[in-house]
C-alpha cells in the first residue's frame, strides 16, 4: 500500500474518531440559565488543529449531520433538526467555521499566530451564536447578550488554547509520519 493511501486511511479514521469525540465532549456540561456550557469547543478546535481543513470539516459536518438526523450526539444526549433553531443553534451552525479557522493555522509558523487564528474562529462562532440567539429569543438588549456571552467566551478561548497544545502532542506522537 502506498504511503499516500495509508495517510488518507489514517486521516479518514481520525476524522471518524473526532466526530465521536465531539459527541462525547458535548455530554460534559455545566447547566446555566440560558444554555449548557460544554466542552465541544475543545473537541472542535482539537479536530481543526490536528486534522487540517478537509478532514476536520468532514468530521464536524458528520457530527452535525448525525445530530440533524436525530442521533443523540448533542448536549444532554439529544438530537434532531430543532436543535439548529434553538437559542444555542447558532453555535452548532458555526462549529465548522471554528474548525476551519483552527485548521488554517497549519499555514502559519508561529504558535501565537496559530492560537490567534483559533481565537478569531471563536469570535466568529460567537457572532453567529449571538445573532442567532437574539433572533430566536427576541432579546432586544445587545448589552445584556454581550454580558451573558462574556463568561462563556473566556471559557471557549481557554478551550481553544488547550486544544492547540493537545494537538501539538497528537501531531508529534501520532501523526508524525502523516502529511496534511
Which carries the bigger pLDDT value, residue 130 or residue 104? 104
pLDDT band at residue 7, thresholds of 50, 70 and 90?
Answer: confident
Check if the beta carbon of residue 86 is closer than 8 Å to that of residue 132: no
pLDDT of residue 176: 65
92 domain-assigned: yes
Q: In whole angstroms, how large is the CA radius of gyration of the chain?
A: 16
Number of domains in the chain: 1
**Cβ neighbours of residue 31 closer than 8 Å, sequence gap 6 or more:** 37
CA torsion sign for 63, 176, 100, 129 is positive
pLDDT of residue 27: 94
179 domain-assigned: no
Residue 149, pLDDT > 90, answer: no
pLDDT of residue 104: 97
pLDDT of residue 1: 44
84 domain-assigned: yes
180 domain-assigned: no
Mean pLDDT value across the chain: 88
CATH label of the domain that carries residue 104? 1.10.1760.20
Residue 118, pLDDT > 80, answer: yes
Write out the residue range of the structural domain in which residue 141 sits. 3-173
Q: In 105-141, which residue ranges form alpha helices assigned H by DSSP?
A: 111-137
178 domain-assigned: no
Amino acid at each position: 500500500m502506498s504511503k499516500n493511501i495509508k495517510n488518507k486511511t489514517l486521516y479518514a479514521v481520525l476524522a471518524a474518531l473526532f466526530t465521536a469525540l465531539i459527541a462525547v465532549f458535548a455530554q460534559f456540561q455545566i447547566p446555566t440559565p440560558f444554555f449548557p456550557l460544554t466542552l465541544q469547543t475543545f473537541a472542535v478546535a482539537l479536530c481543526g488543529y490536528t486534522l487540517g481543513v478537509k478532514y476536520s470539516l468532514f468530521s464536524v459536518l458528520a457530527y452535525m449531520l448525525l445530530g440533524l438526523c436525530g442521533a443523540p450526539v448533542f448536549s444532554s444526549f439529544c438530537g434532531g433538526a430543532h436543535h439548529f433553531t434553538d437559542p444555542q443553534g447558532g453555535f452548532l451552525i458555526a462549529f465548522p467555521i471554528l474548525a476551519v479557522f483552527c485548521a488554517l493555522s497549519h499555514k502559519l509558523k508561529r504558535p501565537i499566530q496559530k492560537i490567534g487564528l483559533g481565537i478569531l474562529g471563536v469570535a466568529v462562532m460567537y457572532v453567529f451564536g449571538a445573532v442567532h440567539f437574539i433572533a430566536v429569543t427576541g432579546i432586544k438588549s445587545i448589552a445584556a447578550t454581550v454580558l451573558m456571552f462574556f463568561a462563556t467566551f473566556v471559557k471557549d478561548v481557554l478551550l481553544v488554547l488547550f486544544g492547540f497544545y493537545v494537538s501539538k502532542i497528537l501531531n508529534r506522537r501520532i501523526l508524525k509520519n502523516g502529511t496534511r
